[in-house]
Amino acid sequence: MPERRFFREECYIAGEWLGGGSVIDVNNPATGESIGTVPNLGRAETQRAIDAAHAVFPEWRERSADERGDLCRKIFEALMDNQAALGELLTVEMGKPLAEAKGEVAYAASFFKWFGEEARRVYGDIVPSSWADKRIVVTKQPVGVVGSITPWNFPTAMIARKAAAALAAGCPIICKPALQTPYSALAYGVIADDIGLPKGVLSVITGPAPEIADEFCENPKVRKITFTGSTPVGKTLSSNALRYMKRVSMELGGNAPFIVFDDADLDRAVDGAVACKYRNSGQTCVSANRILVQAGIYDAFAEKFAAKVKSMKVGNGLEDGVEQGPLIDEAAVAKVEAHITDATSKGAEILTGGKRHELGGTFFEPTVLRDVASTMRVSCDETFGPVAPLFKFETEEEAIRMANDTEYGLASYFYTRDLGRAWRVMEALEYGIIGVNEGIISTPVAPFGGVKDSGQGREGSKYGLEDYLDIKYALVGGLR
């Protein structure tokens, strides 16, 4: 069991640890064993967190940007000082390999560092006035109390992307993590306590998502809702939030194309595809869901790629050298199996993997399929697992058409050495994020988010801070 100090089986609400009542079991996906329980809280406790956040808001927003930035910096330092313990906690509840988990803690920390610095740069404008005796002043102010709902696939980093921006902007935040991975979220409560964050500025509550989300939507003290998760849930949440005129940020599903042109650097493309597809066992919304390879390089790519994937070590993420942990649960395995069965029944060939791993439980073999077609489920449905389907295309136009043939628009990738093609394809892809000769695009300094059914708003970067700020225009008259 990871360091006890960060392992809390109570919720952190209004600066107090709260337990009691009914509980929810949390299991280690690698062993199937119980790790512990967390409170099953509902609307009453959510209200308590909201009331505390609302009460502390005037004081929090009045703090100078320097003070808020310094506190964000302290969270960054606390995360980095405890990277090993927090990484272990993350692996135990989520399953990803320890090296990836520690990498996620550092990734999460980097948002607090970035937004802590960015807090000092919330500039307004003086707009040239239409009148000689009046001035037009534009300032930016924190939106207010934020309700956040985050998924299990990046339990530490997804909270960081939201909480760091909220805190830097001057907004208190209530975090509702996924029930599969609550402990990494509750660890933020320990850190908040340690660094002396004012009570109510950050709360962490565990319980049923619909109940807590309804309170976020209906409670007039909450001004913004931020969500990372599936598109259907995001749409329901957005429409509920809109009924109460709440601001929303939605980071939803994807169906990322990963295009390899004939002129690509083959080894670079293979390495990029492995990193992009198998990061977090493919349980990533920016994971390559469709690998489109041009005919002239298709066989060579398939051979090299499958050989690399075949050599990946699967196992408990706490063991040395493991590159792929278990999938989060049985439903995830069932979806992966269904996609493979559908594809093979329609003519796809398995190059490696294709079935549950001999370790049992929710371990699955890293899989590569070739001769995949647009009639197969893998082409339109996000697999969210370790399956790489290889599609073939002939021309640049065909690749662009195939890539854009989806209701999603989060991340996309392509590999080419032709500068003209790089610009043409970059401009033609209908996606919020594009990796050009790169398979990993995540960084706190760039705007992360999608178009179409992949959501709205951006996280990270200066744009990510704007999502937590309202614009105020003041006309100052009577000057002459």
For the chain, report the end-to-end CA distance as a whole number of angstroms. 71
Select from 79, 250, 285, 387 the one that contacts ligand SIN (CB under 6 A).
285
Which residues is 388 bridged to in the sheet? 368
Please state, in angstroms and rounded to a whole number, the distance separating the CA atoms of residues 387 and 402.
19
Return the SS3 of 280. helix
Q: Which is nearer to ligand SIN, 298 or 448 (CB)?
A: 448
Is 156 in contact with 90 (CB distance < 8 Å)? yes
Beta pairing, strands 367-370 & 387-393: parallel
What whole-number distance in Å separates Cα of residue 91 and Cα of residue 113? 23
Gap between the Cα atoms of 290 and 404, Å rounded: 11
Minimum distance of ligand SIN from residue 228's CB (angstroms):
5
CA torsion angle 459 191 195 77 (round to 10): -60
d(CA 52, CA 436): 45
Select 52 or 411, whichever has its Cβ closest to ligand SIN: 411
Evaluate whether 271 touches 288 at the Cβ level (below 8 Å).
no
Residue with the closest Cβ to ligand SIN? 442
Other C-beta atoms lying within 10 Å of the C-beta of residue 265? 14
- In whole angstroms, the minimum distance from the beta carbon of 229 to ligand SIN comes to 9
Instruction: Label residue 321 left, alpha or beta by phi (over 0 means left) and psi (-120 to 50 means alpha).
Output: left
CB of 27 to ligand SIN, least distance (A): 21
Question: Looking at beta carbons only, is 122 or 286 nearer to ligand SIN?
Answer: 286
Token digits of residue 374: 């647009």
How many binding residues for ligand SIN (CB under 6 A)? 8
Contact yes or no for 94/181 (Cβ under 8 A): yes
Minimum CB distance to ligand SIN smaller for 41 or for 178: 178
Q: How far, in Å, CA of 79 to CA of 433, rounded?
A: 27
Is 454 one of the binding residues for ligand SIN (CB under 6 A)?
A: no
Least Cβ distance, residue 9 to ligand SIN (angstroms) = 26
Angle, alpha carbons 96-100-106 (nearest 5°)? 130
Residue 286, interface with ligand SIN (CB under 6 A)?
A: yes
Residue 161 beta carbon to ligand SIN: minimum distance, rounded to whole angstroms: 7
Minimum Å distance from CB 414 to ligand SIN? Answer: 18
Nearest approach, Cβ of 280 to ligand SIN (angstroms)? Answer: 7
Q: How far apart are CA 265 and CA 416, in angstroms?
A: 7
Does the footprint of ligand SIN cover residue 442 (CB under 6 A)?
A: yes
Query: If DSSP codes are grouped into helix, strand and coil, which group holds residue 305?
Result: helix
Burial class (CB in 10 A: 0-12, 13-18, 19+), 274: buried
Tell me the window of 164-172, 284-292, 322-330, 358-366 that interacts with ligand SIN (CB under 6 A). Answer: 284-292
Distance (Å, whole) CA 239 – CA 248: 10
Nearest residue (CB) to ligand SIN, 162 versus 223:
162
Nearer to ligand SIN (CB atom), residue 197 or residue 276: 276
3-class SS at 350?
A: strand
Among 46, 110, 181, 284, interactor with ligand SIN by CB under 6 A = 284
What would the x/- binding string for ligand SIN be over residues 139 to 178, using CB under 6 A? --------------xx--x---------------------
Binding window for ligand SIN (CB under 6 A); candidates: 3-11, 279-287, 341-349, 383-391: 279-287
CB closer to ligand SIN, 140 vs 290: 290
Beta-strand relationship, 408-409 and 451-452: antiparallel
- The nearer residue to ligand SIN, 52 or 433, going by C-beta atoms, is 433
Residue 249 binds ligand SIN, judged by CB under 6 A:
no
Interaction mask 391-430, ligand SIN, x per CB under 6 A: ----------------------------------------
The interface region with ligand SIN, picked from 86-94, 238-246, 281-289, 373-381 by CB under 6 A, is 281-289
Distance of closest approach, residue 42 Cβ to ligand SIN, in angstroms = 26
Cite the active site residues: 251, 285
Residues 6+ apart with CB under 8 A from 348: 369, 370, 371, 372, 373, 376, 389
Nearer to ligand SIN, 166 or 348 (CB): 166
Strands (E) across 44-172 are located at 125-127, 135-142, 145-149
* Contact status: 228 vs ligand SIN (CB under 6 A): yes
Distance of closest approach, residue 207 Cβ to ligand SIN, in angstroms:
22
Residue ranges binding ligand SIN (CB under 6 A): 153-154, 157, 228, 284-286, 442
